[in-house]
Amino acid sequence: MISSKWRDIPVGARRYILYHTIISPLLIAWYMLPAYMLITGYSILEVGIVFTLINIISVPLTYLIGKAFDRVPVRHGLILIDALDGVENVLYGLSHFFLGPLMISLGLLVGKITRIFYPLYQVAEKLLYPKERLEEVFAWHMRLPLLSEAIGFIVLGYIFGVMFPKPVHYAWGFIAIGLSSVFTVMYLIKYLPRLDAKERIVDRFEFRFDREFRSILAIEALDILALYLAPEIVLINYMMTELKMSFFQVMLVVALSILASLPATHLSERISPKHRFKVIALYFVLRAGWALIMFLVPNFFAILAANIMAEFGNTLALPFYRSWIFGKVPSNKAGSILAGISSFERIIGLVAPFIAGALASLYPTLPYLTSLVLFLATIPILISLERNKNR
């Protein structure tokens, strides 16, 4: 397969990829929050309980909002995501100065409401990226934001892990990240098309809830549950509490893993889509290896090696996985179907943060053992799909 050049990608798709490149470093807030909660006195079990309660509150709305965006311009939803992200992070920052637990809970609730709209990212990709070159465009979708994220995580990780590691510094960092959403909202308004119903090219096929789509849901369920049982909070808790490492060392692991995965964005362009199920199966094998290492030998270098392996597999497989899902979803129903998948994921992972916190409170790396079993359970499904494809 010939590698796609940046200038060959449609303008709307390029602008959307650049948008993700701009916001990717700000995702460090996802790591800052559990670190902030731990250094301000929350236990790993308490953090898990809080995240679970907020999950329960947010579940019912996801499908209804996605269905509404079958008709409402998708850009409106992306703007709302950034605006709510800003409010969420400002609330985290304010928690240091007054009403700490209440402000964190409100921030988490706003964050969960925001994530209800996250299927719109996939809807935008479905509408903006040319389906005949989806894997190639997705390679760029991964490449530029990942590079931006890695550099941003190293710089910001050093700032909050070494130069300004106190809770008050985290608080001002949250507020600054929150206020930056003003600029990302302006970018969306100025540069992204509306993506309303009349702009959508309707695919000439009907959605079918067939065996292959049921396989997608089964794989989603196993993957989501496995990842929810070993979220960032487990890694952060282990490295900062058990290994006595700094937030900078945590972010160094994440950033170096991302950088090491960048070659996968080039490799994915050279693999034919006919090998889709093999590539996705490789991701789960690498994820299982990650979980095994994290359970057995989690020193700094083992953690780094395991995360490099997992991130490489994810970066390699995501274009093939997304193109598989998008190929089953007609454009005019993208909002409701993709939001339906997201609602399904939320139900599967509803109590996972609590379970992860409980397991980690018994033994810090126990959640990874559970994830290992779940990752391995996806392999027979993918083998079956590969065999049926070759018949």
Q: Which two tokens stand for residue 96?
A: 């240091």
Q: Could you tell me the maximum CA-CA distance found in the chain, to the nearest angstrom? A: 64
10: left (phi over 0), alpha (psi -120 to 50) or beta: beta
From residue 125, give the alpha-carbon distance in Å to each of 171, 298, 301, 376.
Answer: 33, 36, 36, 29
Q: Which two tokens stand for residue 172?
A: 């001002």
How do residues 151-167 score in pLDDT, each as one tens digit?
A: 999 999 999 999 999 99
Q: Which two tokens stand for residue 158?
A: 């050093």
Q: Which two tokens stand for residue 45?
A: 């079990």
Instruction: Report all structural domains of the chain as residue ranges with CATH numbers, in order of start.
Output: 10-389 (1.20.1250.20)
Residue 250: which of 240, 260, 265 has the closest Cα? 240
Q: Are 302 and 249 in contact (CB under 8 A)?
A: no
Q: What is the pLDDT of residue 127?
A: 84
From residue 76, give the alpha-carbon distance in Å to each of 130, 261, 375.
Answer: 22, 32, 36
Instruction: Name residues of the chain where pLDDT drops below 50.
Output: 1-3, 199-205
Residue 249: which of 160, 181, 314, 132 has the closest Cα? 160
Q: What is the pLDDT of residue 66?
A: 55
Residue 116: which of 267, 282, 338, 353 has the closest Cα? 338
